[in-house]
Protein backbone atom coordinates (compact mmCIF):
# COMPACT_ATOMS: atom_id res chain seq x y z
CA UNK A 1 0.00 0.00 0.00
CA UNK A 2 2.83 2.40 0.82
CA UNK A 3 4.41 1.98 -2.61
CA UNK A 4 1.08 2.70 -4.22
CA UNK A 5 0.75 5.99 -2.33
CA UNK A 6 4.26 7.03 -3.36
CA UNK A 7 3.43 6.20 -6.96
CA UNK A 8 0.26 8.26 -6.79
CA UNK A 9 2.16 11.16 -5.25
CA UNK A 10 4.65 11.11 -8.12
CA UNK A 11 1.78 10.95 -10.63
CA UNK A 12 0.10 13.95 -9.00
CA UNK A 13 3.38 15.89 -9.00
CA UNK A 14 3.93 15.04 -12.67
CA UNK A 15 0.40 16.10 -13.59
CA UNK A 16 0.78 19.30 -11.59
CA UNK A 17 3.99 20.12 -13.44
CA UNK A 18 2.33 19.38 -16.81
CA UNK A 19 -0.62 21.58 -15.87
CA UNK A 20 1.66 24.48 -14.95
CA UNK A 21 3.53 24.07 -18.24
CA UNK A 22 0.28 24.06 -20.20
CA UNK A 23 -0.90 27.20 -18.39
CA UNK A 24 2.32 28.99 -19.34
CA UNK A 25 1.90 27.88 -22.96
CA UNK A 26 -1.70 29.10 -22.93
CA UNK A 27 -0.58 32.49 -21.63
CA UNK A 28 1.96 32.66 -24.49
CA UNK A 29 -0.76 31.82 -27.02
CA UNK A 30 -3.00 34.53 -25.54
CA UNK A 31 -0.23 37.10 -25.96
CA UNK A 32 0.31 36.08 -29.59
CA UNK A 33 -3.41 36.29 -30.31
CA UNK A 34 -3.64 39.72 -28.69
CA UNK A 35 -0.82 40.91 -30.93
CA UNK A 36 -2.43 39.46 -34.05
CA UNK A 37 -5.77 41.07 -33.20
CA UNK A 38 -4.05 44.43 -32.69
CA UNK A 39 -2.35 44.13 -36.09
CA UNK A 40 -5.61 43.19 -37.80
CA UNK A 41 -7.51 46.02 -36.11
CA UNK A 42 -4.84 48.58 -36.98
CA UNK A 43 -4.88 47.49 -40.62
CA UNK A 44 -8.67 47.67 -40.77
CA UNK A 45 -8.59 51.20 -39.38
CA UNK A 46 -6.37 52.30 -42.25
CA UNK A 47 -8.32 50.69 -45.09
CA UNK A 48 -10.37 52.70 -47.54
CA UNK A 49 -13.41 51.43 -49.43
CA UNK A 50 -11.30 51.18 -52.60
CA UNK A 51 -8.98 48.66 -50.98
CA UNK A 52 -11.81 46.17 -50.55
CA UNK A 53 -12.44 45.95 -54.31
pLDDT one digit per residue (tens) for the chain, 53 residues: 566 888 999 999 999 999 999 999 999 999 999 999 999 999 987 765 555 55
Using DSSP, state whether 53 is helix, strand or coil. coil
The predicted structure's pLDDT at residue 38: 95
User: Domain tally for the chain?
Assistant: 1
18 within a domain of the structure (yes/no)? yes
40 within a domain of the structure (yes/no)? yes
* Per-residue CA distances from 44 to 9, 16, 48, 50, 52 (Å): 52, 42, 9, 13, 10
CA dist 28 and 40 (Å) reads: 19
53 within a domain of the structure (yes/no)? no
Residue 46 dihedral angles phi and psi, to the nearest 5°: -95, 0
CA dist 43 and 40 (Å) reads: 5
Structural domain boundaries enclosing 43: 2-47
The predicted structure's pLDDT at residue 26: 99
Amino acid sequence: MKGNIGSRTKDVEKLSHELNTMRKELDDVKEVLKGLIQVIMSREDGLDDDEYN
